[in-house]
């Protein structure tokens, strides 16, 4: 039986530091199968669209300009209980509060430059995966 799916992006800070491969290794060793993967760069308009859900938040503009500042690595991942287990693997939004061994504890610098995104629900995982990947990019 197939597991459920989640969506992730390795953010510009982590790609710039060259730790994208190390993060993908940790993700795979934690039992997630990579269904789709690429390196790309968002325009400001694309970042605004992706994060539309956060448009009322005070950090919306900073978030969108950061997320369009450099290359990112989006991916669709599969595992039983994918959304919840992946949120555990990445750790708290602010790396200062993240548990030891989590991706944000290992690689994030700050609450804004926090290395990685993980969907917060099955519904958003599907919407976010569809934002980046067509049918023929998923295996
Ligand atoms: P997540 O689900 O753990 O990624 O956290 P949220 O959904 O609350 O926030 C989305 C993203 O916005 C976070 O991953 C951060 O990159 C960014 N963010 C959250 N809080 C702040 C903040 O106070 N300032 C800035 N600049 N960015 C923030």
| CA of residue 30 to ligand 1 center, whole Å | 24
Answer yes or no: are the C-beta atoms of 78 and 2 closer than 8 Å. yes
* Residue ranges covered by each domain of the chain: 4-137
Ligand 1 pocket residue status of 59, Cβ below 6 Å: yes
Ligand 1 pocket residue status of 62, Cβ below 6 Å: yes
**What is the residue whose two structure tokens read 């287990």?**
85
The mean pLDDT of 74-82, rounded to a whole number, is 98
- Taking all residues of the chain, what is their mean pLDDT, rounded to a whole number? 97
- Cα of first residue to Cα of last residue in the chain, in angstroms, is 15
Residue 102 pLDDT: 98
The mean pLDDT of 40-65, rounded to a whole number, is 97
Of 35, 91, 117, 125, catalytic = 117
Predicted model pTM: 0.96
The mean pLDDT of 61-89, rounded to a whole number, is 98
CATH for 4-137, options being 3.30.70.141, 3.40.640.10, 1.10.20.60, 2.30.110.10: 3.30.70.141
């Amino acid at each position: 039986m197939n597991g459920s799916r989640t969506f992730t992006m390795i953010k510009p800070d982590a790609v710039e530091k060259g730790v994208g491969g190390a993060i993908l290794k940790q993700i795979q060793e934690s039992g997630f199968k990579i269904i789709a993967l690429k390196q790309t760069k968002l325009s400001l308009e694309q970042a605004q669209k992706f994060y539309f859900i956060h448009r009322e938040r005070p950090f919306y503009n900073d978030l969108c300009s950061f997320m369009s500042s450099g290359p990112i690595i989006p991916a669709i991942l599969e595992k039983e209980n994918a959304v919840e287990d992946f949120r555990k693997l990445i750790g708290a939004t602010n790396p200062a509060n993240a548990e030891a061994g989590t991706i944000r504890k290992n690689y994030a610098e700050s609450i804004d430059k926090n290395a990685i995104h993980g969907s917060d629900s099955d519904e958003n995982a599907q919407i976010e995966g569809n934002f980046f990947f067509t049918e023929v990019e998923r295996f």
